[in-house]
Structure 1
Amino acid sequence: MSVIVNINLGVRSPSPSPANRPRPQFQHNLKQDRSFVRFADWGRREMERTCMRHAGIILIVAFLVSGATLPERGPMPLARPSSGDDRPTPTPKPATPRANGADAEEKSNGRAGNDARADRDLPPGWKDDALDAVPVLVIEKENPQEYASCLSELKSLGSSFSEVDRIDDGKGCGIDKPIEVRAILPGVTLKPEGVMRCEAALALARWTKETAAPATSSAFSPETRITALNQASTYVCRLRNNADAGKISEHARGNAVDIASFTLSDGKTVEIQPRDEDGTLTGAFQRAVTASACLYFTTVLDPGSDAAHEDHLHLDVIDRKNGYRYCR
Structure 2
Amino acid sequence: MRRNASRVLPHACAAGLLAALATACSTESVMSLRPDVDVGVQTAGVPAAVPMTPAPADATAPTPVEPMTAAPADPMTQAPADPTLAAYPRFEVPAEPQDVMPADEVDCRRDLKRLGVKFRDLSPIHEGSCGIDWPVEVSAIGSVRMKPAATLSCSMAATFSRWTKKELVPAARWRYLSGVKTIHQGSSYSCRNIRGSRGTPSQHSQGNALDVMRIELNNGRDIDVRKPGWFAFRQRGFLNTVRQDGCDYFTTVLGPGYNADHADHFHFDIMQRRNGYVACR
TM-score range, shorter chain: 0.5 to 0.7
- Normalising by structure 1, we get a TM-score of 0.53
Q: 2:122 aligned with 1:164, yes or no?
A: yes
Q: Whole-Å Cα distance in 2 between the matches of residues 208 and 270 of structure 1? A: 15
- Which of 262, 271, 277 is equivalent to 1:324? 277
Shift of the alpha carbon at 1:147? Answer: 1.5
Q: Whole-Å Cα distance in 2 between the matches of residues 159 and 278 of structure 1? A: 36
- Which of 168, 180, 194 is equivalent to 1:212? 168
Q: 2:131 aligned with 1:174, yes or no?
A: yes
Q: Is the 8 A contact 1:200 1:316 kept in 2?
A: yes
Shift of the alpha carbon at 1:186? Answer: 1.6
Q: Whole-Å Cα distance in 2 between the matches of residues 292 and 271 of structure 1? A: 18
The equivalences for 1:117-196 within 5 A come to 144-170=102-128, 172-183=129-140, 185-196=141-152
Q: Whole-Å Cα distance in 2 between the matches of residues 220 and 252 of structure 1? A: 35
Partner-residue secondary structure (3-state), 1:303: coil
Q: Is the 8 A contact 1:275 1:287 kept in 2?
A: no
Where does residue 219 of structure 2 map in the other structure? 266
Partner-residue secondary structure (3-state), 1:240: coil
CA, structure 1 residues 204+226, in 2 after alignment: closer, same or farther (shift >3 Å)? same
Q: Whole-Å Cα distance in 2 between the matches of residues 305 and 210 of structure 1? A: 25
Q: Whole-Å Cα distance in 2 between the matches of residues 144 and 238 of structure 1? A: 27
Shift of the alpha carbon at 1:278? Answer: 5.5
Q: Is the 8 A contact 1:226 1:264 kept in 2?
A: yes
Shift of the alpha carbon at 1:323? Answer: 2.0
Q: Whole-Å Cα distance in 2 between the matches of residues 248 and 277 of structure 1? A: 36
CA, structure 1 residues 292+217, in 2 after alignment: closer, same or farther (shift >3 Å)? same
Q: 2:203 aligned with 1:203, yes or no?
A: no
Q: Kindly indicate whether structure 1 or structure 2 has the higher relative contact order, using CA contacts under 8 Å at least 6 residues apart.
A: 1
Shift of the alpha carbon at 1:322? Answer: 2.8
Where does residue 189 of structure 2 map in the other structure? 235
CA, structure 1 residues 211+174, in 2 after alignment: closer, same or farther (shift >3 Å)? same
Q: Is the 8 A contact 1:278 1:284 kept in 2?
A: no
Q: Whole-Å Cα distance in 1 between the matches of residues 228 and 245 of structure 2? A: 16
Where does residue 249 of structure 1 map in the other structure? 202
Looking at CA atoms only, which structure, 1 or 2, has the larger radius of gyration?
1
Shift of the alpha carbon at 1:280? Answer: 1.1
Q: Whole-Å Cα distance in 2 between the matches of residues 210 and 231 of structure 1? A: 19
Shift of the alpha carbon at 1:318? Answer: 0.9
Q: Sequence identity, in percent?
A: 36
Runs of at least 5 residues in structure 2 that lack an aligned partner in the other structure: 1-99
Shift of the alpha carbon at 1:143? Answer: 8.6
Q: Whole-Å Cα distance in 1 between the matches of residues 166 and 108 of structure 2? A: 17
Q: Cα deviation per residue 1:197-239 (whole Å; 9 max; x = unaligned)?
A: 0111111111111111111011112xx1001110000001111
- Which of 240, 251, 260 is equivalent to 1:287? 240
Shift of the alpha carbon at 1:162? Answer: 0.6
The one-letter amino acid of 2:113's match is K
Q: Cα deviation per residue 1:173-218 (whole Å; 9 max; x = unaligned)?
A: 10011001111x2210110011110111111111111111111011
Q: Cα deviation per residue 1:267-320 (whole Å; 9 max; x = unaligned)?
A: 111010124956511110000000000111100001121110000000001112
Q: Cα deviation per residue 1:110-131 (whole Å; 9 max; x = unaligned)?
A: xxxxxxxxxxxxxxxxxxxxxx
Q: Whole-Å Cα distance in 2 between the matches of residues 244 and 215 of structure 1? A: 35
Q: Cα deviation per residue 1:83-135 (whole Å; 9 max; x = unaligned)?
A: xxxxxxxxxxxxxxxxxxxxxxxxxxxxxxxxxxxxxxxxxxxxxxxxxxxxx
Where does residue 131 of structure 1 map in the other structure? none
CA, structure 1 residues 276+240, in 2 after alignment: closer, same or farther (shift >3 Å)? farther
Where does residue 225 of structure 1 map in the other structure? 179
Partner-residue secondary structure (3-state), 2:182: strand
The one-letter amino acid of 1:225's match is G
Q: RMSD of the TM alignment (CA)?
A: 2.1
Where does residue 309 of structure 1 map in the other structure? 262
CA, structure 1 residues 245+203, in 2 after alignment: closer, same or farther (shift >3 Å)? same
Q: Whole-Å Cα distance in 1 between the matches of residues 193 and 244 of structure 2? A: 26
Structure 1 runs (4+) greater than 6 angstroms displaced = none
Runs of at least 5 residues in structure 1 that lack an aligned partner in the other structure: 1-141
Q: Is the 8 A contact 1:276 1:287 kept in 2?
A: no
The one-letter amino acid of 2:191's match is C
Q: Whole-Å Cα distance in 2 between the matches of residues 227 and 291 of structure 1? A: 21
The one-letter amino acid of 2:242's match is V
Partner-residue secondary structure (3-state), 1:267: coil
